[in-house]
Chains A and B, each alone.
Chain A
Amino acid sequence: MKQAAFESLHVSEWSAFERLLENDPRAPLRGADFPRLYRRVCQHLALARDRAYGPDLVDRLNALALRGHRVLYGAEGMRRNQLAEFFLRRLPLMVREELPLVLTAALLFFGPFALVALALQRYPDFVAYLLSPHELADLQRMYDPANPHPGMRPADSNVLMFAFYIWNNVKIGFQTFAGGMLLGLGTIFYLVLNGLQIGAAAGYLTQIGYGVPFWSFVAGHSAPELTAIVLSGAAGLRLGAALIAPGRLTRRAALTAAARRAVQLVYGAAALFTIAAFVEAFWSPVGFVPAQIKYAVGASLWSALLAYLALVGGRHAR
């Protein structure tokens, strides 16, 4: 069959298909005609290629088939409550499945943290290697027991601090994750660096006797924030592990599969960072609450979070 005859024979089907595509993105599937017309277009594309019809026609059919393919196979499932499903099941399950990496990330963060915090009690001068004089002065001012709003400079407001925590801390989390692409080295770097910095601040303030304002300030948001850092780290390590030891897959396939899992940990980390920013901006600096209550709130948040990660979601049927 010549091209002109082929075109005039089928052009009505193509324009009908195109009309369905132009509709609302969800509408085409409602028409029972859509799948049938899509298969016709696929068949016509195969014929047009095989018969070496003009490239213009082939391109047109290719574009139609591609758009149909996107609608037919790209349709999102109709599952409800995806958000609830994610937080009540997928996230805690994923954390438990990736437990070795989560624990490794925790060690890479809490190890340097504890080491520096403890070392500074014996060798206080060491802090000069970790924090600049400017940072030390800032810390001293913020956690001075006389400050009515510990953790804040006098000029800061709660909302501003909230925005700053989101902007800064979530960025650190995302960078920790992305660093996994450098064979995991970037992730390790950020985890250790953050552990050292926070450990230095904690050790220094405890050593100069500002321990109560500092620890009562951080107690509240420590659970969501530190867990979020660890989860971002675990996600980054997942990428790095896939690149170093892809197993039976090619490196690229292993990376893609790992990223699909890792990004779920990042969702969880982002949610925890947001919670942490709220607590840190609006609860932690409240000055009139006794330290004991703040410690109690922090401890209950830690146990709630750990219980959530350890218990919720049941067992995964692999």
Chain B
Amino acid sequence: MVLDTAHEVPTPEGIDIELRPAGPMARASAWLVDLLLRLGILITIWITAGLLGKFGLALTLLSAFFLEWLIPAWCEVRWNGATPGKKALGLMVVHDDGTPVRWPAALTRNLLRAVDFLPLLYLFGFVAMCLSRDFKRLGDHAAGTLVVFRPALGGSHDVPPAAALAPARALSLAEQRAIVDFAERSTALTADRAAELAEIAEPLVGTARGAAATERLIGIANYLLGRQ
């Protein structure tokens, strides 16, 4: 868990909620999506408004201004902390305490992109992210915001049902958790890899090898979950 990047938010209820800060790669991709979208919109406006002569040019300039500075902040405030790019990548902006981002912070972080961009292509922002535990760029530091992965609503990795099997020896909590964890992930692993992992737990699977070892461990997981 020490290697984890989870950001814990203590709440008044006395629990810690975990947030998963997003790294430079995910955020750069979100930025790229936003950039392409912005360019697309701008070019569309430019072409259609071009028919209106000077008024059209005025419209294009105003759109360029709003798309560059204010619309991203507006999206983050109104759309659950996400610009279209962030939404596409499953990211969202939150305050450091996990609450939804509001105008002052959203505007601060979006205006300070001007500094993160320096000297070119967000180099300052990238360096700041790498130096920060929560991948914050300079604007995030000033605004007190985090970009996190939108939490998935779980339920995707259920332990496959099997006949419950009592383990041969008492298990510590950490061991129990490891086995349930394995069982939940077993459907996402290849059969060979699952068996390879299952065989490590020799005191539990005994002489069983291959698929039999996986099955034994899943049986034990079912027992630990309390299924009959």
Q: Do A and B bind each other?
A: yes
A residues near B, CB below 8 A? 1-6, 18, 38-39, 42-43, 45-46, 51-57, 59-60, 62-67, 69-70, 73-74, 76, 156-157, 159-160, 162-164, 166-167, 170-171, 174-175, 177-179, 181-182, 186, 239, 252, 255-256, 258-260, 262-264, 266-267
Do residues B58 and A162 form an inter-chain contact, with CB atoms below 8 A?
A: yes
Contact check, B174 vs A256: say whether CB atoms are below 8 A apart.
no
17 A–B contact pairs at CB < 8 A? A3-B224, A4-B226, A43-B13, A53-B177, A54-B181, A55-B177, A59-B154, A60-B153, A62-B17, A66-B18, A69-B99, A163-B59, A166-B62, A181-B142, A256-B141, A256-B143, A266-B111
Beyond A76-B102, A258-B142, 13 additional contacts (C-beta under 8 Å) are: A42-B14, A62-B18, A63-B153, A65-B11, A73-B11, A73-B97, A160-B54, A163-B59, A163-B62, A164-B58, A170-B65, A174-B69, A178-B115
B176 CB–A CB distance under 8 Å: yes
**Nearest neighbor of A8 in chain B, beta-carbon distance:** B226
Distance to closest chain B CB from A203 (angstroms): 29
Interface residues of A: mostly helix, strand, loop or mixed? helix
- Check A256–B144 contact: CB distance below 8 A: yes
| Residues of the B chain whose Cβ atoms lie less than 8 Å from the Cβ of A76 | 102
Is A255 in contact with B141, judged by CB distance below 8 angstroms?
yes
What is the minimal beta-carbon distance from A210 to any residue of chain B, in angstroms? 26
Structural contact, A65 and B104, CB atoms closer than 8 A: no
A202 → chain B, closest Cβ, in Å? 25
B180 touches A54 (CB 8 A): yes
Contacts of A73 in B (CB 8 A): 11-12, 97-99
**Shortest beta-carbon contacts, A-B, top 6:** A2-B226, A60-B154, A163-B58, A63-B151, A74-B99, A178-B114
| Distance to closest chain A CB from B69 (angstroms) | 6
**With a CB–CB cut-off of 8 A, which chain A residues contact B57?**
160, 163
Binds A, one of B34-42, B155-163, B190-198, B209-217: B155-163
Chain B 38-53, CB-CB to A under 8 Å as 1, else 0, gives: 0000000000000000
A62 and B151 contact, Cβ closer than 8 Å, known pairs A56-B157, A157-B54, A159-B58: yes
Given contacts A163-B61, A171-B65, A259-B143, contact A69 B11 (CB under 8 A): yes
CA distance A165 to B62 in the complex (A): 9
Query: Is B64 close to A, CB under 8 A?
Result: yes
Q: Are A54 and B62 in contact (CB under 8 A)?
A: no
Q: Distance in Å from the Cβ of A196 to the closest Cβ of chain B?
A: 21
Contact digits for B19-38, partner A, Cβ 8 Å, 1 yes 0 no: 10000000000000000000
Residues of A within 8 A of B181 (CB): 54-55
**Chain B interface residue count: which class?**
35 or more
Q: Within 8 Å CB of A38, what residues of B?
A: 13
CA distance A82 to B112 in the complex (A): 24
Q: Given contacts A159-B55, A167-B62, A182-B115, is CB(A259)–CB(B100) below 8 Å?
A: no
Q: Is the CB of B61 within 8 A of A56?
A: no
Among B12, B65, B142, B155, the residue within 8 A (CB) of A259 is: B142
B54 contacts A159, C-beta separation under 8 Å: yes
Taking A2-B224, A4-B227 as contacts, is the C-beta distance between A52 and B173 under 8 angstroms? yes
Most chain-B Cβ atoms within 10 A of its Cβ — which of A18, A54, A177? A54
Per-position 1/0 for B120-162, Cβ under 8 A of A: 0000000000000000001001111000000111111111000
B107, A263: Cβ atoms closer than 8 Å: yes
Q: Which of B64, B115, B227 touches A179 (beta carbons < 8 Å)?
A: B115
Contacts of A266 in B (CB 8 A): 107, 111
List, in ascending order, chain A residues with CB within 8 A of B176's CB. Answer: 52
B143 contacts which chain A residues (CB < 8 A)? 256, 259
Asked whether, in the complex, the Cβ of A52 is within 8 Å of the Cβ of B62, the reply is no
Chain B's nearest CB lies how many Å from the CB of A121? 35
Determine if B115 and A66 form an interchain contact, defined as CB atoms under 8 angstroms apart: no
For residue B61, which residues in chain A have a CB less than 8 angstroms away from its CB?
Answer: 160, 163-164, 166-167
A85 to chain B, nearest CB (A): 14
CB <8 Å contact, A167 and B151: no
Specify the chain A residue showing the minimal Cβ separation from B100: A74
Closest residue to B179 on the A side, CB-wise? A54
Chain B residues whose CB sits within 8 angstroms of the CB of A171 once the complex forms: 65, 68-69
Are A174 and B154 touching (Cβ within 8 A)? Answer: no
Q: A3-B180, A52-B176, A74-B99 are in contact. Are A177 and B155 (CB under 8 A)?
A: no
B192 to chain A, nearest CB (A): 23
A262 nearest CB neighbor, chain B only: B108
